Chains A and B, each alone.
Chain A
Amino acid sequence: MSSITLDHHADRSAMKVSDQVAIDIRGMNKWYGAFHVLRDIDLTVYEGERIVIAGPSGSGKSTLIRCINRLEEHQEGQIIVDGTELTSDLKNVDKVRSEVGMVFQHFNLFPHLTILENCTLAPIWVRKTPRKEAEEVAMHFLEKVKIPEQAHKYPGMLSGGQQQRVAIARSLCMMPRIMLFDEPTSALDPEMIKEVLETMVSLAEEGMTMLCVTHEMGFAKEVANRVIFMDQGQIVEQNEPEEFFNNPQSERTKLFLSQIL
């Protein structure tokens, strides 16, 4: 897991955390049927924070970030994203979703559209950006993730790493203020993990607010300003990465770290 080392050290100077609250989760509970997946989650994320969420599988970490753009519904408590509370009101949900970008484990690119069309679809149809402008923005972000030359290919013709970078570019085209990453590298070969992580590092260097579910502890050490450890649907421990890795407090965290490091 920790075998992937990044080539250059992330430049932490630009990663400033402001005191503006980006996401506020208070007393949130969620059940799948009778199964209590998330229990009393309290979490405040400030703008510019890079949070890595770690934990064993089934601990609810993916469910937690999927609640933030309401791909999953919570039953109790509050989730406030950028001042908008997530309720069953679809208008609020759509508003939050257009502010929050999400990158999935399996990329979820649209296979029937070209790379460029994947990137321009939401800006054109949700933000009502003129096509030309949307294409310029898309090319800008495709250059940033270093695959502008693939713009007119279809997702099926790209490697996994390239697809994931396109997925990141697609999210960025909506100019989100917050990015959620749901195990973005878990479906990739080791060499491709690196190219995706480097894209994420450069994103962090620009001050993007990021919540990232990942097993890449190298990335956590390099980029995160906070690591959250979850188990059985609860936040067990959270700390700065240095403290978290060198001086874990709870037994559960110690066990987890000893297994993956």
Chain B
Amino acid sequence: MSDMSYVRSEMLPERTPPASSVGFVGWARANLFNGIVNSILTIVSLVLIFLVLAALLPWLFSPTWNSGSLNECRDILNGHEGACWGVINERWEQLLYGFYPNGSEAGSIDQRWRPNLAFLLLFVAVIPVLFNMISRRMNWVLLLVALAYGAYAIGGTLGMIAVVVLLAAAVFVGYKAFSSDKATRAAEIEAGAKRLPNPLIFTAIFPFLVPFLLWGGSIWVFVGAALGFVLAGLAYRYLSTVVGSLAGMIISVLVAIVWWLFMIGPFASAMDAILPIALEQIESRKFGGFMLSITIGVVAIGISLPIGIVLALGRQSDLLIVKALSVGFIEFIRGVPLITLLFVASTLLNIFLPPGTNFDIILRVLIMVTLFAAAYMAEVVRGGLAALPKGQYEAADALGLDYWKAQRLIIMPQALKISIPGIVSTFIGVFKDTVLVSIIGLLDPLGLSNAIRADQAWNGVVWELYGFIAFMFFVFCFSMSRYSMYLERRLRTGHK
């Protein structure tokens, strides 16, 4: 029995791991050559990758950037295989902006700064929502720089003065943001230093600013649209304490609708008389290319999420009518192909509207795509809601939180976090589905590519055009997918 007793008299020191298990050698051994089968697979894959690249790269890097037609390309390539990039060189502006006025027509001026500015502002508006790593001050710097670009594009003496002022302000705020680190700034704020306004204010203005930029017209129409929301908010705030939250909500919605239907027109014309601010109006049929895709995509993505959340909650509601309406809407939309809805938007809707009404085609498409996305979003969010343990609802109830507070503070943050992969998949799907509008005659990138190939000079160009379009879509979709992974990592709170 004495064999079993053992006492360690000395503790072993730490040793470095064997050289073959660390560094590149260790990594390659563990991941590429950890067995005969895997080694063979690795080598076969490397050969395949080499073959693909050997065929693709020479095609990709062909000196045809400045050619003016497919025939010129053929002359340059002289029988060799190669891409004909001249088509992208000549038509990239069209692929990006469609027929948005670029100053080439007589009497028109280049208006493309407007979508450019809208695109820049999109980033300024979404950054405070999507990321928490950028400071409040840096966000204002971005906004000032974007606005300086807008002022530069408008031009004129006033514009140039505005550029100088805006850039100076950006440099000043940016310098202050860089010169004080996080801790000192936090201490300053603690001590009562004034903070810059929350950048989310701009995010709230953005949805009204962008249609003004893109479509133009009087700014007061869009200010009026925004005022409807403000009025509804005020009505709810002051009435809900008096008549209860449900009645307050109904009244405030009515207030907004009445305002939008009857008051916007007089308001806009009155304001126009006092202070006319307007941009040249651009018709919807001039919209096209990626600008159109991004417009439809961003609107559908931005609006479908809140509608989807409401529908998901409606579907779970105890109120029979709310539930029936939600289920009916979701199942109807999911049961119909998007193309059918788009056809309804483009042709049928006009039949039902009173004659003479001019209901913008892009607006009709936006509504349909948004509703379509919202139905899918509702089901994704419902999946997240279903995954939450019942205890979370009970804990929220037991603490005295009412339904909306519990949803907002406890349930939705968790349900949405669970559904991030599904939500982003839906977003990506919606963005890619925007090319379907080419079927009803809108000139999205795919619609334009057909138009371009109908041109005598480029008849027969296929890979270059579709490759370019695919590449652009890939950039957007891949960014969304990476963002969703970043967000999942950021919101991970367990111990891992």
Contacts and interface: CB of A to CB of B under 8 A. Distances in A.
B495 interface: yes
Contact of A108 (B391, B491, B493): B391
Contact of B493 (A106, A107, A111): A111
A174 B395 contact: no
Interface in A50-65: none
Nearest to B413: A112
Contact of A156 (B400, B409, B410, B494): B494
B398 A111 contact: no
Interface stretch (A119-127, A141-149, A188-196, A234-242): A119-127
Contacts of A154: 493-494
Nearest to B416: A112
A97 B395 contact: no
Interface residues of B, number: 21
Given A94-B402, A154-B493, A110 B397 contact: no
B399 interface: yes
A121 B395 CA distance: 12
Contacts of B389: 106, 108
A104 B493 contact: no
Given A94-B400, A94-B402, A122-B400, A111 B494 contact: yes
A29 interface: no
A69 B398 contact: yes
A97 B399 contact: yes
Give the interface SS of chain B, mostly helix, strand, loop or mixed: helix
Contact of A106 (B391, B405, B413): B391
Contacts of B280: none
Contacts of A106: 389, 391
A116 to B, nearest CB: 13
Nearest to A122: B399
Contacts of A111: 414, 493-494
Contacts, number: 71
B331 interface: no
Contacts of B394: 71, 104, 108
Interface string A83-103: 000000010001101101110
A104 B399 contact: no
A104 B391 contact: yes
A157 interface: yes
A109 interface: yes
A32 B58 CA distance: 74
B392 interface: yes
A112 to B, nearest CB: 5
Nearest to A94: B400
Given A108-B395, A154-B494, A156-B495, A174 B400 contact: yes
A187 to B, nearest CB: 11
B493 A112 contact: yes
B154 interface: no
B437 to A, nearest CB: 38
Contact of B414 (A112, A126, A171): A112
B398 A71 contact: yes
B400 A97 contact: yes
A95 B402 CA distance: 11
A174 B400 CA distance: 9
A84 to B, nearest CB: 13
B395 A104 contact: yes
B417 interface: yes
Interface of A: 69, 71, 90, 94-95, 97-98, 100-102, 104, 106-112, 121-122, 125-126, 154-157, 170-171, 174
29 contacts: A94-B402, A97-B399, A97-B400, A98-B399, A98-B400, A102-B395, A102-B398, A104-B391, A106-B389, A106-B391, A107-B391, A108-B389, A110-B410, A110-B414, A111-B414, A111-B493, A112-B491, A121-B401, A121-B409, A122-B399, A122-B400, A125-B401, A125-B405, A154-B493, A154-B494, A156-B494, A157-B495, A171-B398, A174-B400
Given A97-B400, A174-B400, 14 more contacts: A69-B398, A97-B399, A98-B399, A98-B400, A102-B395, A102-B398, A111-B493, A112-B413, A112-B414, A112-B493, A126-B400, A154-B493, A156-B494, A170-B399
